[in-house]
Amino acid sequence: MSASAEDGENTAFTWTVGALTAVFLLLPLGIVVVQSFTAESFLRFPPAAFGVRWYDYVFHQQVWRAAAGRSVLIGAIVAPFATVVGTMAAFAVDRGPRALVGMIYGILISPMILPHVVLALGLLRIALLAEADDTYAALIVAHLVVAVPYVVITVGASLRIADRSLEDAAQSLGANAWRVFRHVVLPAIWPGLFAGLIFAFVESFDEFIITFFLTTFKLTLPIQIFNTLSYQLEPSIAVVSTLVLALTGFLTALVLRRGQTLPTRER
């Protein structure tokens, strides 16, 4: 068999596996989207009749609007704070003592690895001691714990491929530390910083387990979805899920288009 024929078979196999994997992952989401346009009073696939009845219902329900507003508010506060803290932490890892890099990095990303139930129990205990349970402050701090690691990873990746010689050149020309950061470092790490900001918002917006432990009355969108499912399975759940999916897809597209296209260092 010629090399070109073998390469063609490998390419076809790769595309086939990729397509099957995509279908496997996206098919459940597609079913939810289709169900959200049902005109019936219960979930069934495929729906017997289609319409936007439940979209109108969700948009006019105060409980859904309030829950979505809380999620957006908390995410909008958490994302920039997580970006600042995570960027400083990524700098500490990148520019810190080599002997401690592995240990520091492991500690910083540990909230992504540890079960969120364990984190939630610990954060709940701290919130109770501080008499801050069921407060926005407790939710923001808790969401920061799980959002910062995403910024550490994305900004850290940008720092690893950034050309340090450009910083040395700027300093040799008389630029102070702030000017070097603003005009040299910041443009170099912008893709990772932007991606970290988006990922931090999405993580906060979608966080359920930790929020479930810390809140009683200040219900975010994931908690409201869970509470609604506890009583009845109505099409409004599919509508809210579709809207969350659309928001997440839009933010992911922003990352792919403007954020995570990292430059390659020339050698």
User: Of 158, 166, 160, 201, nearest to 183 (Cα)?
Assistant: 166
List strand residue ranges (DSSP E) for 101-231, in order: none
pLDDT in tens, 110-125: 888 888 888 899 898 8
In whole angstroms, how far apart are CA 68 and each of 102, 129, 206, 252, 259?
A: 38, 29, 11, 19, 25
Cis peptide before 46 (omega within 30 of 0): yes
Average pLDDT over residues 22-46: 83
Which residue's entry shows tokens 């701090």? 141
List b or e across 217-256, with b for residues whose CB sees 16 or more CB atoms inside 10 angstroms: ebbbbbbbbeebeeeeeebbbbbbbbbbeebeeebbeebe
Domain ranges of the chain: 61-259
What pTM does this model have? 0.83
CA distance 76 to 199: 12
Cα 77 to Cα 66: distance, rounded to the nearest angstrom: 17
Homologous superfamily (CATH) for 61-259: MetI-like (1.10.3720.10)
For residue 124, what is the enclosing H or E element? helix 116-129
Q: What is the mean pLDDT of residues 138-159?
A: 91
Check if the beta carbon of residue 202 is closer than 8 Å to that of residue 217.
Answer: no
Amino acid identity of residue 100, one-letter, is: L
pLDDT tens-digit readout, 204-252: 998 999 999 988 888 898 998 888 887 777 888 888 888 888 888 888 8
3-state secondary structure of 205: helix
At 258 the pLDDT is 66
